[in-house]
Amino acid sequence: MRALAIIPVMAASLLAGCFGDKDTVSEPVALAAEAPDAFLTYPDTQASLAAGAYDIVVGTDVAGQSGSYRLVVTFDDGTTQAIKGSWLSSGGPSAAAAGNGRHQITLPRAGGVRIALDSAVDGYLFLLRNDHLIDSDTDGGANGEALIDRPLSLISSQKYGEAYYAAVDPSGVRRTLAEWKSKNGFDAGFDSHVIFRDAFDLGYGRDMYARRNPDGRIAVFVNNYVVRVLPGSSTNYGPLNVEAAISQDSRYLLGTNAIEFSPADEDAPNENGSMMITKFFTFDASGKRIVSADLDGRGVKHMPGMCWACHGGKPAPLDESGNFQVQSLRSAKMNMLDVGLLEYSPQSGYQRPQLEAGLRTINEYVAETYAVMAGRDVNDAVTGSAHWSAAFAQSLAAGRYAASATHVDAFIPAGWTASVSRPEGVEALYKQVVEPHCIGCHALQGSTAGENVSDLANAINFSSYEKFISYRSKIIDYVYRRGNMPMSLRNFERFWKEPDKAPALLATYLSEPTLFNASGNVIQPGRPVARPGNSRSVKTTAGQTVQLDGRSSYFAQRYQWQIVSAPSGAALTDPATARPVLTAPVNGNYVIALTVSNGRGADTAEITLTVNDALAKAPGQFTFVDDIMPILGSSGGTACTSCHSSGGGYAGIPVFWSSDSGLYRRVLSRIDFRDPENSKLLTKPTSLNHGGGVQLSMLLPAEKADYDTLLSWIREGAVCGSDAALCP
């Protein structure tokens, strides 16, 4: 028998389910407003635009023209706003010229917008925020008309999925399942075939096949079965599904996932830039490749994010040419089958002992992909950036198959074994919480640079209790407040099925009393959480007002703001909305309270805004070019670029902040318009998990001022500024 290479475990199955009956069709499920519903999505959706007011300027290709026009603005919720206007003598293709129409729209929530222009004259559209250019177009529509189309998410859309398939299948030879099988050698047979139920993932019956080809290509596909008992019910994801998979009953076949490990550039497979990467494909029940699917009745999601959510993928927005970014493309991995967490049929031939050999073969193949990834040169300019550290994943696999032909379910990694320096019961925490609900996905995270810098820099892989607990505040937030972890709906339901077990056990290690109610029972996510933003210093605008925003609050159905203390003359406009305006006529501290509520209760939080008209700029005046680049060190400073550059000395570091035409896009991919304080651009330099130590301390005035500038810039739309070389 071949020696098993080292690979990570998975809390559910090799493939995070990625299919649906029809592309982009969703089966709606009625949910209470306070029900968590953000599964198989990244915490940062990378919304295209921040919430707030925008100006649309309507120009023409040629100045001096006259005529009428009509704008149709479509928002994320499907509502539209029609705007009519005309030119007496247009100002031409300019956002500032007199004679062009100017109209204001408001985005109630961070997301996207579609602006279509209908006119007999060739028009030009500009989208502005605080008089800074955000986007423009003259002929992007289907018939050459001006169109600005910003998606709800820059990493989850039809266009994004199509760009992904164009990158992994540029010749278009995998448009059907039959073509994919042929491309990966399945016409000649397969090496392993197993059938099971992925009880901790999506609950499907999995009919899985694997093959290794002579050229090193490794491929796995799985047909997925669901017996629908009740619409939108978790009953649909029960034990009947494995029986449907065994019988291969086409009535219950929903679709097929396929993963291959093959050269990025198949036309030049031996070139350095075409390293072997993990590619994902989704096919419907007829075998047609699809871009999107409704995986669990909770709404349509797109490729590849719906698969990458548990495969270590790091989605980045498309580049300026609309292509998938190389660093993102090679970030995803295959997952090892955690044999002890799968469910098996009682039928003869499909029980676990009879499937062990086939499961091991699949895990061996996955191991080979990790060996290739781990062996890449971390110092290479092409393959080294954001180099994944496979060390922990490899130690997991070694322990799970150490000196055994079968999967060792009882294995506990060294970082989780009992010791005098660790709290009592840490092994139970691992076996009951971390292994079944977390480790399969987290073992695929992190970077080599993180491992080399400090013990906590690569803590995201949860390789030890110490690393795990260093994310205490994030775990409290994501698991108990937001309810978006565990990340798949079925795993979430398994975790919360018995709140007094896994949820209560985890909560005891987090040392947070508010996780329990007065009776000592752990509180499930869904209660409202007020989040008015962090306290900060601001300069008032010309009208002496400050925009407040509570849209990042959790499960809020109702909002109520009030002034707790402030100088004379302070007032709130629209205090019962998510985005009121504070009138702050003089310098001083303005303490504002936000109360949010829903059917489960209410929550209040306070924020202190220090208004200081001696500051250089008001929040809406910050730009990337003038204010953010100096903080990064990209315009001559040394703050971030001393490490985050090709010459910084940290091989495998995930991102470079050195100045070039792609810098602004790289920064945008690390900010969160829906939850500005949760932007990586802010959380990394203020945390010990950064790797480079805390770089923005809230206790040091100069660093706190930089933090406030970054936060205000993000809240006001993260505009680029006026630099043709840096601003797309």
Question: Same domain, yes or no, for 239 and 365?
Answer: yes
Residue 18 has pLDDT above 60, yes or no: no
What is the model's pLDDT at position 384? 63
Q: Tokens at residue 225, please?
A: 């079965």
Q: Tell me, what's the pLDDT at 273?
A: 46
Q: Which pLDDT tens digit goes with each residue over 712-724? A: 999 999 999 988 8
Q: Are residues 274 and 347 in the same domain?
A: yes
Q: 115 pairs with which residues across the strands? A: 73, 148
Residue 415 sits in the same domain as residue 490: yes
Q: What is the mean pLDDT of the chain?
A: 89
HSE-CB at 693 with a 13 A cutoff on CA atoms is: 4
Tell me 690's DSSP state: G
Could you read off the pLDDT of 21-63 as tens digits, one per residue?
345 555 566 778 888 888 888 999 999 999 999 999 999 999 9
Element (H, E) at 559: strand 558-565
Q: Is residue 3, in this structure, part of any structural domain at all? A: no
Decide if 195 is inside a domain.
yes
- The tokens for 12 are 């559910």
Q: Which of 382-386, 454-458, 511-515, 546-550 has the lowest mean pLDDT?
A: 382-386
Mapped onto helix, strand or coil, the DSSP state of residue 80 is: strand
Looking at 264-362, which runs of residues are DSSP E strands? 276-284, 292-294, 300-302
Per-residue pLDDT at 11: 31
Confidence (pLDDT) at 17: 38
Examine the domain organization and report whether 510 and 600 are in the same domain: no
Amino acid (one-letter) located at 150: R
* Strand ranges in 144-252 using DSSP code E only, listed in sequence order: 147-150, 192-197, 205-212, 218-225
Number of domain units in the chain = 5
515, 547, 567 - which closes a domain? 515
User: Looking at the domain assignment, is residue 455 inside a domain?
Assistant: yes
pLDDT at position 382 is 60
SS (H, E, C) 576-641: CCCCCEEECCCCEEEEEEEEEEECCEEEEEEEEEEECCCCCCCHHHCCHHHHHHHHHCCCCCCCCC
**Does residue 304 have a cis peptide bond before it, meaning omega lies within 30 degrees of 0?**
yes
- 377 domain-assigned: no
Contact criterion met (CB below 8 Å) for 704 and 698: yes
- What's the rounded mean pLDDT across residues 267-285? 78
Distance of CA 215 to the CA centre of its chain: 33
Whether 448 and 312 map to the same domain: the answer is: no
Among 150, 174, 206, give the residue marking a domain's end.
150
Using pLDDT thresholds of 50, 70 and 90, give the confidence band for residue 381.
Answer: low
- pLDDT of 709 higher than 90: yes
11-22 burial, b at 16+ Cβ within 10 Å, e below that, comes to bbbbbbbbbbbe
Strand partners, 593: 562, 606
CA angle 43, 416, 1 (to 5 degrees): 95
Q: Is pLDDT of 272 > 90?
A: no
Structure-token match 């500024």, residue found: 721
**Residue 439 CB-density burial (10 A; 0-12 exposed, 13-18 middle, 19+ buried):** buried
Same domain, 84 and 137: yes
Would you state the pLDDT for residue 15? Answer: 39
> Which domain CATH number covers 131?
2.60.40
Task: Let me know whether 173 and 303 are in one domain.
Answer: yes
What does DSSP assign to residue 13?
A: -
- Counted residue by residue, the chain has a size of 728
Same domain, 124 and 223: no
Confirm if 195 and 205 have CB atoms less than 8 A apart: yes
Question: How far is the CA of 123 from the CAs of 10, 58, 66, 119, in angstroms?
Answer: 53, 7, 11, 7
pLDDT > 70? residue 89: yes
The DSSP 8-state label assigned to residue 85 in this structure reads E
For residue 175, pLDDT beyond 60: yes
Instruction: Tell me what pLDDT residue 451 has.
Output: 75
Which residue type sits at 357? Answer: A
Q: Lowest mean pLDDT of 115-119, 144-148, 259-263, 450-454, name the range.
A: 450-454
Where is mean pLDDT largest: 62-76, 223-237, 379-393?
A: 62-76
Could you report how far apart the first and last alpha carbons of the chain are, in Å? 55
Given the DSSP bridges, would you call strands 253-263 and 218-225 parallel, antiparallel or unpaired? antiparallel
Dihedral-angle region of residue 337 (phi above 0 means left; psi in -120 to 50 means alpha; beta otherwise): beta
Residue 126 lies in a domain: yes
Residue 310 C-alpha from the chain's centroid: 11
Residue 645's pLDDT is what? 81
pLDDT for the residue numbered 234: 65
pLDDT computed for residue 387 by the predictor: 84
The pLDDT assigned to 28 comes to 61
Determine contact, residues 484/39, Cβ cutoff 8 Å: yes
Q: Is residue 32 part of a domain?
A: no
Cβ–Cβ under 8 Å, residues 469 and 476? no
Residue 205 pLDDT > 70: yes
CATH of the domain at 585: 2.60.40.10
pTM here? 0.91
Residues 188, 267, single domain; the answer is yes
| Whole-number pLDDT of residue 27 | 58
Asked, for residue 105, whether it belongs to a domain, the answer is: yes
- What pLDDT is attached to residue 9? 31
What is d(CA 385, CA 387) in angstroms, rounded to the nearest whole number? Answer: 5
**Per residue in 244-253, pLDDT tens?**
999 999 999 9
* Dihedral sign computed on CA atoms, order 197, 234, 111, 543: negative
| Look-up of token digits 């007002």 | 545
| Nearest of 308, 333, 359, 405 to residue 206 by alpha carbon | 359
Q: How confident is the model at residue 633 (pLDDT cuts 50, 70, 90)?
A: confident
Cα angle, residue 314 at apex, residues 268 and 260 outer, rounded to 5°: 45
Containing 496, the helix (H) or strand (E) segment is helix 489-496
What b/e readout covers 155-187, taking b as 16+ CB neighbours within 10 angstroms?
A: bbbeebbebbbebbbeeeebeebebbbebbbbe
Q: What is the pLDDT of residues 519-550, one digit of tens each?
A: 999 999 999 999 999 999 999 876 789 999 99
Do 437 and 582 fall into the same domain? no
Q: How far apart are CA 323 and CA 674, in angstroms?
A: 25
How do strand 601-611 and strand 536-538 relate by DSSP bridges? parallel
Whole-number pLDDT of residue 287 = 97
Q: Looking at the predicted structure, is the pLDDT value of residue 229 above 80?
A: no
Q: Are 529 and 603 in contact (CB under 8 A)?
A: yes
338 φ, ψ to 5°? -85, 95
* Percent of the chain with pLDDT strictly greater than 90: 69
Upstream peptide bond of 630 is cis (omega within 30 degrees of 0): no
Among residues 270, 235, 241, the alpha carbon closest in space to that of 253 is found at 241
Quick check: is 40 in a domain? no
Query: What residues make up the domain containing 278?
Result: 158-369
- Percentage of the chain beyond pLDDT 70 is 92
Q: Are residues 181 and 216 in the same domain?
A: yes
DSSP 514: G
Place of tokens 């499930």: 524
Distances (CA, A) of 248 to 215, 241, 536: 31, 10, 60
> 175 and 59, same structural domain?
no
Name the 3-class secondary structure at 188: helix
The last residue of one of the domains, among 91, 125, 150, is 150
R_g of the chain computed on alpha carbons:
26
Q: Are 691 and 590 in contact (CB under 8 A)?
A: no
